[in-house]
Amino acid sequence: MSKVLITGSSDGLGLMAAQRLLAAGHDVILHARNQGRARDAMGAAPNAHGVVVGDLASIAETRGIADQANRLGPFDAVIHNAGVGNRERRIETVDGLEHIFAINVLAPYLLTALIKQPKRLIYLSSGMHRGGDPDLTDLQWKRRRWNGTQAYSDSKLFDAVLALALARRWPAVLSNAVDPGWVATKMGGRGAPDDLDLGSETQAWLAVSQDAGAMVSGEYFFHKKPQSIHPAAREVSIQERLLVACEELTGTPMPGTITNSPV
């Protein structure tokens, strides 16, 4: 039995992954943005071990989520599922950061840095990451003309960069990125063509399976099979520059190499 934390698990793919893991007998800690959504999450997954609450758009609340998680941990796996899609206009968080980057990239960075290292890390990316721009000079879209679709693609590329950066930095931790497919969630829309049930399978499998295919690190998966990834995600210089940028924005460095065993 494994203990797994899943961000953004009050609905959608995060909740589906939680329900899948709970049905298999694993302990799951849910995450919700506020108390109301936390109640909904526990109602949908009443066997969950608990729920951490906080808005990932806020650096302070993300720190609070990490504190709550550390009190409930340690974890065998953390699935960084939470995310937002492209928006019609650029909006800023309470910290003055571009909203998509703050939730999709900075929050998983900060949680990874602050939560006691698990045995496995899973970051949800997207097939749209292949259209992402690895240029880190304007992460907050203050100089460029706003393009929500591009901002989303960039954020999903940076999620893949994070996954591979941690696979390299923390060789004792299995760290991978997942494309869940374009599925009919609130983000994906009702007309999304991919299989919704399969959308939660790969991240749950990577979190707990002892299959040889799941016991790997530094890969990008779609439906339990490694796929090609944007070449920039494997570039150490880009990985390190992204980590430095996130450290500067949060004031929190990513811990160095760890040595616990990824059993």
Q: Looking at the domain assignment, is residue 139 inside a domain? A: yes
Question: Which pLDDT does position 260 carry in this prediction?
Answer: 46
Range(s) of the domain holding residue 201 = 3-250
Question: Which pLDDT does position 259 carry in this prediction?
Answer: 46
Place of tokens 């707990």: 208
Q: Looking at the domain assignment, is residue 257 inside a domain? A: no
Catalytic residue selected from 3, 119, 123, 156: 156
109 assigned to active site? no
Domain harbouring 210, CATH code = 3.40.50.720
Q: Looking at the domain assignment, is residue 259 inside a domain? A: no
Q: Looking at the domain assignment, is residue 7 inside a domain? A: yes
Q: Containing H/E element for 121?
A: strand 120-124
41-51 b/e with 16+ CB inside 10 Å = b? bbebbeebebb
List CB contacts of 83: < 8 A, sequence separation 6 or more. Answer: 8, 103, 104, 124, 155, 159, 187
Q: Looking at the domain assignment, is residue 260 inside a domain? A: no
Q: Looking at the domain assignment, is residue 262 inside a domain? A: no
Catalytic residue selected from 152, 186, 220, 225: 152
Beta partners for 262? none
Q: Looking at the domain assignment, is residue 255 inside a domain? A: no
Question: Which pLDDT does position 199 carry in this prediction?
Answer: 80
The two structure tokens encoding residue 177: 């990125």
Counted domains in the chain: 1
The model carries a pTM of 0.93
Q: Looking at the domain assignment, is residue 52 inside a domain? A: yes
The percent of the chain in helix, strand and coil, each rounded to the nearest 5, is: 45, 15, 45
Using DSSP, state whether 128 is helix, strand or coil.
helix
Sign of the alpha-carbon torsion through 35, 39, 44, 47: positive
152 assigned to active site? yes
Tell me the average confidence (pLDDT) per consecutive run of 10 residues in the chain, 263 residues long: 96 94 97 97 95 98 98 97 91 97 98 98 97 97 96 98 98 97 52 65 97 98 96 98 98 78 40
Place of tokens 């203990």: 3
